[in-house]
């Protein structure tokens, strides 16, 4: 069954058939085919789009470190991050089951997907840890 509705392009605002709409490179909005073509043609050959920019920055930093002779320990000193440090907290929405992560210093009160205030921190342990925690909680109830 073909899609027959009309949608507005998130970039140029043109009304377009639903079946020709595509997500932009960042995946944040639906755009028409002409905007898709413009967006894709702006990517230089041999490079990747914005979603992998972090990986490109990390590779560039590693290349710079190799050229300047800066060690990983020196890099940790300059950036303030250690290789094993995890500055993100994983969350889970109990209503819509959306999983996401945010920086440790951000205060999270509601789900970014559904907007409800049913967000908890995601369980970081294994299956056996979860079973033991549930058993302890059940024993405390009685």
**Residue 70: which pLDDT band, with cuts at 50, 70 and 90?**
low
Q: Are residues 95 and 137 in the same domain?
A: yes
Q: Are residues 98 and 129 in the same domain?
A: yes
The predicted-structure confidence for 76-133, as pLDDT tens digits, reads as follows 444 444 444 468 888 988 888 888 889 888 888 888 888 888 898 887 778 888 788 8
DSSP code at position 50: G
105 domain-assigned: yes
46 domain-assigned: no
What's the pLDDT score for residue 46?
58
Q: Are residues 13 and 32 in the same domain?
A: yes
48 domain-assigned: no
State yes or no: pLDDT of 60 exceeds 80.
no
Q: Are residues 94 and 132 in the same domain?
A: yes
What's the pLDDT score for residue 82?
44
The predicted-structure confidence for 7-57, as pLDDT tens digits, reads as follows 899 889 999 888 888 888 777 888 898 988 888 777 666 555 544 555 556
Phi–psi pair at 135, nearest 5 degrees: -65, -45
- What is the spatial distance between Cα 97 and Cα 116, in angstroms, rounded to a whole number? 11
- Residue 19: how many CB atoms within 10 A of its CB? 10
Q: Are residues 81 and 102 in the same domain?
A: no
**Residue 59: which pLDDT band, with cuts at 50, 70 and 90?**
low
Structure tokens of 40?
């894709």
Instruction: Print the domain residue range for 78.
Output: 57-86
Beta-strand runs (E) in 1-140: 6-8, 15-17, 22-23, 30-31, 88-93, 99-103, 119-121
Q: Are residues 76 and 37 in the same domain?
A: no
Q: How many domains does the chain have?
A: 3
120 domain-assigned: yes
65 domain-assigned: yes
């Amino acid at each position: 069954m073909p899609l027959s509705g009309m949608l507005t392009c998130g970039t140029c605002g043109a009304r377009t058939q639903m079946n020709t709409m595509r997500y932009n490179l960042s995946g944040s909005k639906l755009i028409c085919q002409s905007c898709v073509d413009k967006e894709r043609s702006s990517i230089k050959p041999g490079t990747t789009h914005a979603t992998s920019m972090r990986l490109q920055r990390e590779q560039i930093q590693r290349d710079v470190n190799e050229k300047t002779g800066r060690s990983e320990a020196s890099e940790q000193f300059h950036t303030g991050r250690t290789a094993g440090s995890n500055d993100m907290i994983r969350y889970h929405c109990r209503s819509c089951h959306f999983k996401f992560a945010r920086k440790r210093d951000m205060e999270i009160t509601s789900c970014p997907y559904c907007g409800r205030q049913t967000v908890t921190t995601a369980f970081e342990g294994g299956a056996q840890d979860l079973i033991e925690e549930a058993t302890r909680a059940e024993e405390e109830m009685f």
